[in-house]
A and B are shown apart, each in its own frame.
Chain A
Amino acid sequence: MKRARILLDGTVHAAVEEEGRLRLSNGRLVDPEAVTWLPPVEPRTIFALGLNYADHAKELAFKAPETPLVFLKGPNTITGHRASTRRPADATFMHYECELAVVIGRTARDVPRDRAYEVVAGYSVANDYAIRDYLENYYRPNLRVKNRDGCTPLGPWLVDAADVPDPMNLSLRTLVNGRVTQDGSTRDMIFDVPHLIAYLSSIMTLSPGDVILTGTPEGLADVKPGDTVTTEIEGIGSLVNHIVADR
C-alpha cells in the first residue's frame, strides 16, 4: 500500500493511493492535484549517508569509506511533495540528491543483517539538497550545508515494506526540467540497507519513525530558481520539488 499525509480544506488527513487517486481515511476519494502534500511520515531521528555509492564518491574525489559516513538532520529540513525549496542568494553550487529513504517501524537494537528488514516499516523518496559553497571540514558534511530549512523534500508516499520485495535493486533517477541528469540503481550502494540498519543499531537504539536516507549515486548538477527537480525511484514514487530564490 502507498500511504500519504495530505492537507485538504484545512485538515490533515491520512490517505492511501487508489488507482491514481487518494482515498482519505474518512472515505473521500480526491484528486492528487487537489491536496497539499505533507511528508508521509513525521520523522523522529533522521540519518543520512554520505559517499554511499562508489561512483558518487569518485565524482567527489573521495575514496569509498570503510565504515558508513553517517550524519544527522533535524526536522526543520523536511518538506513534502510539490513544495518549494529556497536557493540561498549567494550560492554558486546547489545540487539535488535522489535517495532511497528507509522508515523504521520497530524499536531496534543490535539487529543482525539477516533480520534487518524485519524492522523496516516502508520506503520513500528523499531529495537531500546540498549547498556546496558552505562546506567546511568540521563534522563534514556540516549542518550549514545539510541542515537547512525545507532542503530535504520527502515523499510523496510511504510504501509498505511488504510491497518492496527487493529494495536493493531499484532504479533511481533525477530529472531537472524533464531532462534526466542522474541515473543509477540502489544495487550500487556501498553499504546496503541491511548493513546500515545493523551498523546504526549497533551504536544506538532505533525507534519507529526514524528515517535513514541511504545516499545518492553520481550525476550532480547545479539547480537554479525556476527549476523543477523530480527525484524518482522505481516502485516507490516520483517526488517533485521547485527551486525558488531566497526570500
Chain B
Amino acid sequence: MHTTSPQGMTQGMVYGVILNDRRTLDRLGPALSQPPYSAPPKAPVLYIKPYNTHAGNGAAVRLPRGAERVEVAATLGLVIGRDATALDEATAMDAVAGLRPILDVSLPNPSVYRPPVRERCFDGSCPMGGTLPYVAGVEALTLRTLVNGTVVAERSLSDLVRPPARLLAEVTGFMTLRAGDTLHLGIALDGPQAGADDRVRLEIDGFAPLDIVIEDAAAEGETP
C-alpha cells in the first residue's frame, strides 16, 4: 500500500542499511566476530522505517518519552522507479528514478543484534528531503551534518562497502523493491547527537538542505 505524503507525492516503503561504510566496519572490527554477532555480516543488513516515521523538510522530530538525546544519521536514499527483483549489478541503476537526502533519527544503542523498532521507529524519525532525478556519481558526494549551524559530521560516500548498484543487486536478490520505495545507502553508526530545540541540517551539494528541529517530548501539548 502506498501513502500520500504531505507534499502530495506517493511514497512507498523506506528500507535502511547499516554496516555499509568502511569507517563503521573498521571501528567495530573484532567485535563483529564476538558474541552476539559471531561473524561479520554477509548479506546487506537492512531495517525498515515504517510510514509513521516518514516526514519532510522542516519537520519537528519529537524526542521519545524519557529520551534527552537522539542520534541523527545522514544518508542518501535511492528512490526506486519500477518494481525491481533480482537486478543485475551492471544494469541495476536503471531501476532508480531519483535521489533524496535522509536524516535517520534514532535512540542511541550500540547493539545491532535485534531489530531496531524501539530505537528507529518512533513517529517522525525519518525526515526526507525532496527527490531529484537520479544522476550517476553518488560516490563523489559528501554529506555534511550541522547542528545549530556547526558542522558536526562530514562523510564522503566514497566509503561505501557496497556501492549503489551492488547494494541494489544484493537486496533485490532476496526481496522486491517496488516503484516508490526508497533504499538508502547506509548510515554510519555512532553518529552525531542532538537534543531538544537543536536545529539539524543535512547538506549535500546539488540538493536543497534538509532541515529539522528536535522537539521536547512534552512540547506536544499532551494533556497532563
| B123 and A76 within 8 A (CB) | no
Task: Tell me the residues in window 75-132 of chain A with beta carbons closer than 8 Å to chain B beta carbons.
Answer: 75-77
Once the chains bind, are B118 and A203 in contact (CB under 8 Å)?
yes
| A45 lies within 8 A of B117 (CB) | no
Query: Which A residues lie within 8 Å of B175 (CB)?
Result: 74, 76-77, 143-144, 147-149
Q: Would you call A138 and B123 a contact (CB within 8 A)?
A: no
A210 vs chain B, min Cβ distance (A): 9
A136 within 8 A of B: yes
A76 touches B113 (CB 8 A): no
Of A2-10, A13-21, A64-72, A170-178, the one with at least 4 CB within 8 A of chain B: A64-72
Let me know if A194 is at the binding interface, CB within 8 A.
no
What's the least CB distance linking B164 to chain A, in Å?
A: 18
Task: Give the CA-CA distance A72 to B114 in the complex, in Å.
Answer: 11
Taking a contact as CB atoms under 8 Å apart, the answer to whether A72 and B48 are in contact is yes
How far, in Å, is A83 (CB) from chain B's closest CB?
A: 15
Residues of B within 8 A of A75 (CB): 1, 13, 178
Interface centre among B36, B52, B115 (most CB of A within 10 A): B115
B122 and A203 form a contact (CB under 8 A): yes
| Interface presence of A140 (CB below 8 A) | yes
Q: How many residue-residue contacts, CB under 8 A, span A and B? A: 101
**What class of interface size applies to chain B in its complex with A?**
35 or more
A25 on interface, CB distance cutoff 8 Å: no
B142 within 8 A of A: no
Given A134-B174, A137-B113, A205 contacting B15 (CB threshold 8 A): no
Q: Interface residues of A: mostly helix, strand, loop or mixed?
A: loop
CB of B45 closer than 8 Å to a CB of A: yes
Q: How far is the CA of A95 from the CA of B32 in the complex (A)?
A: 28
Q: Considering the complex, give the chain A residue whose CB is closest to the CB of B36.
A: A137
* CB closest chain-A residue, reference B174: A144
CA–CA, A209 and B15, complex, Å: 20
The answer to whether B1 and A137 have CB atoms under 8 Å apart is: no
Please name the 9 residue pairs, one residue from A and one from B, whose CB atoms are nearest each other, closest first.
A71-B115, A72-B48, A45-B50, A138-B45, A143-B46, A70-B117, A42-B1, A76-B176, A137-B37
Q: A138-B45, A203-B118 are in contact. List 14 more A-B contacts (CB 8 A).
A: A45-B52, A47-B117, A75-B13, A75-B178, A76-B178, A77-B175, A134-B174, A138-B113, A147-B46, A148-B175, A149-B85, A203-B64, A203-B117, A204-B123
A residues sitting closer than 8 Å to B (CB atoms) are 42-45, 47, 69-77, 134, 136-144, 147-149, 203-205, 207, 209
